Amino acid sequence: MPIEFPNQLTAQTTPIPGVVLFDLPVHGDNRGWFKENWQREKMLALGLPDFRPVQNNISFNAKAGTTRGIHAEPWDKFVSVGAGRVFGAWVDLREGPSFGAVFTAELDPGRAIFIPRGVGNAFQTLEDNTLYTYLVNDHWSADAQHRYTFLNLADETAAIAWPVPLERAELSEQDKAHPRLADVAPMPPKKTLVLGADGQLGTALRALYDGDPTVEFAGRADFDLADEASFASRNWRDYRTVINAAAYTAVDDAETPEGRTAAWGINVTAATRLARAAVEHGLTLVQVSSDYVFDGSRQVHGEDEPPSPLGVYGQTKAAADAVVGVVPRHYIVRTSWVVGEGNNFVRTMAGLAARGIRPAVVNDQTGRLSFAADIAAGIRHLLDTAAPYGTYNLSNDGEPRTWADIAGEVYELSGRPGADVQGVSTAEYFAGRKAAPRPANSTLDLRKLAERGFRPPAAGARLREYLDGPG
């Protein structure tokens, strides 16, 4: 006679966020049965995260009543039954509002469950000779248990109704000694790593995420992008997101032999290593791009415009965009004319104004300023709202202006006449000097980001606030 099991793959959510229960089609006859135990494409369509399993474990239990748990592990797992039946109990032990939520269900060969990192799981066998198997997305190691979170099987708050009372069940001494819920330290979420944390954008990200223990910052002394060992020594499984705010930005020096090597090393080789880590560990990678990937022949640049870099710096940023674009979970944030804390064009002009100097400033390059605080806010918006992955232009809004126009406004805001700034062409400004070619038009189309709910302030308003601020 055929064995009665589900004949259609279905999924159902549970009271614990991220825990998904699956009914698996099992095809049986007088010889036994067959099932697709884990099918990535079909299960992704039903809501299973693409958790990228790397290890398969099997637990065999000779006696009914064998009970294991409650263990919250630092990885995701997909649990299914090969033979027999088990009673499963899951308790959310992650930081957050669902901490302590409980879900129970019976598993047999026709039912499986996905358990996210940090959700405590326990199993009690209901038949002799029960076998269950689980896929996990990290390799077990001897020190891995130091990162577990445990809950006592008999916790009164969870109040799990075990089919076989615990006093008659088979338990390990370790499981008997686990703490009650009131004494459990919740498992913290995976972290965000900000690289280039000492630069203008990195400093803005530090200020934006100040006090958030889930965000880790690494400057050059903490993470050397030029050293492959920095990538190999990092436990990427501890992170969910990497924001690469580091870059070689000396556009003129990049045209020299030494600068070309350095620019390709930081902007491309390091980005490639980050992309590899993101693919291997399922990370979200945020890569900051530049208007220099374009030649400036168009008045406004959209996200889909093919790259056409003029110089080495632009070539390296375009190459990095191409590499990061193959990462399944990526945001390429393209910006222009960045202004943050530290040395930048606005600070230089303000300093010249204070000294009464009448500078010559380029008047045939057009674009918008991008204040680092607003770039940081835009990046956070993309991450917090889980915006569709891809490329987003991000500068401040407002009427595009030339460098000379901006310099004149800085002078006026500093109490000097804007007419003190002399507008000159790019060719005149760099006459007799070696310089990288620059795009004549750097204005970025901001509509895609606006459609995702983020509208950066006008550059003019931000300029006034910036000059009124400290420093």
In this prediction, residues 263-273 reach a mean pLDDT of 97
Task: Find the CATH number of the domain harbouring 343.
Answer: 3.40.50.720
Query: Of 183, 206, 224, which one is at a domain's C-terminal end?
Result: 183
Task: Find the CATH number of the domain harbouring 64.
Answer: 2.60.120.10
Query: What is the arrangement of strands in the sheet containing 119-125, beginning at the earlier edge strand?
Result: 102-107, 86-92, 119-125, 67-72, 149-150
289 and 414, same domain (yes or no): yes
What does the pLDDT read at residue 207? 96
Asked if residue 350 is part of any domain, the answer here is: yes
378 and 345, same domain (yes or no): yes
153 and 292, same domain (yes or no): no
Q: How many domains does the chain have?
A: 2
DSSP code at position 331? E
β-pairing, 77-83 vs 67-72, is unpaired
Instruction: Judge whether 209 counts as a catalytic residue.
Output: no
User: 435 pLDDT exceeds 60?
Assistant: yes
Domain that holds residue 289: 191-468
Asked if residue 76 is part of any domain, the answer here is: yes
Active-site entry in 132, 134, 209, 429: 134
355 and 393, same domain (yes or no): yes
227 and 316, same domain (yes or no): yes
Q: Which of 91-105, 229-243, 373-387 has the lowest mean pLDDT?
A: 229-243
Asked if residue 4 is part of any domain, the answer here is: no
What does the mean pLDDT of the chain come to?
94
| Residue in the block written with tokens 């057009």 | 366
Distance from C-alpha of 333 to C-alpha of 263, rounded to nearest angstrom: 19
Query: Of 167, 183, 199, which one is at a domain's C-terminal end?
Result: 183
Distance from C-alpha of 100 to C-alpha of 6, rounded to nearest angstrom: 31
Active-site entry in 71, 178, 301, 330: 71
What does the pLDDT read at residue 257? 95
Asked if residue 1 is part of any domain, the answer here is: no
161 and 239, same domain (yes or no): no
What does the pLDDT read at residue 377? 98
222 and 173, same domain (yes or no): no
415 and 437, same domain (yes or no): yes
In this prediction, residues 234-261 reach a mean pLDDT of 95
Distance from C-alpha of 105 to C-alpha of 89, rounded to nearest angstrom: 7
What band does 5 get if pLDDT is binned at 50, 70 and 90? low
175 and 273, same domain (yes or no): no
* Residue 429 CA: distances (Å) to CA of 55, 337, 426, 432: 61, 18, 5, 9
What does the pLDDT read at residue 209? 97
Asked if residue 2 is part of any domain, the answer here is: no
Asked if residue 64 is part of any domain, the answer here is: yes
In this prediction, residues 262-280 reach a mean pLDDT of 96
pLDDT in tens, 86-103: 999 999 999 999 999 999
What does the pLDDT read at residue 116? 96
Residue 248 near residue 301 (C-beta atoms within 8 A): no
Distance from C-alpha of 45 to C-alpha of 124, rounded to nearest angstrom: 30
Query: Of 128, 149, 183, which one is at a domain's C-terminal end?
Result: 183
What band does 4 get if pLDDT is binned at 50, 70 and 90? low
The DSSP string of 232-292 is HTS-GGGEEEEEE------TTGGGSHHHHHHHHIIIIIHHHHHHHHHHHHT-EEEEEEEGG
Distance from C-alpha of 414 to C-alpha of 403, rounded to nearest angstrom: 16
In this prediction, residues 68-75 reach a mean pLDDT of 94
What does the pLDDT read at residue 417? 96
Total-model pTM:
0.88
Asked if residue 30 is part of any domain, the answer here is: yes
User: 44 pLDDT exceeds 80?
Assistant: yes
- CA 275 to chain CA centroid, nearest Å: 12
Distance from C-alpha of 319 to C-alpha of 313, rounded to nearest angstrom: 10
User: 22 pLDDT exceeds 90?
Assistant: yes
24 and 76, same domain (yes or no): yes
In this prediction, residues 335-352 reach a mean pLDDT of 95
260 and 281, same domain (yes or no): yes
pLDDT in tens, 312-332: 999 999 999 999 999 999 999
217 and 326, same domain (yes or no): yes
User: 471 pLDDT exceeds 50?
Assistant: no
What band does 346 get if pLDDT is binned at 50, 70 and 90? very high
pLDDT in tens, 222-237: 999 999 999 998 989 8
What does the pLDDT read at residue 2? 47
What does the pLDDT read at residue 1? 35
3-state secondary structure (DSSP) of residue 316: helix
DSSP code at position 214? T
Instruction: Judge whether 301 counts as a catalytic residue.
Output: no
Residue 77 near residue 107 (C-beta atoms within 8 A): no
β-pairing, 149-150 vs 111-115, is unpaired
What does the pLDDT read at residue 185? 94
Asked if residue 3 is part of any domain, the answer here is: no
Distance from C-alpha of 278 to C-alpha of 247, rounded to nearest angstrom: 18
User: 470 pLDDT exceeds 70?
Assistant: no
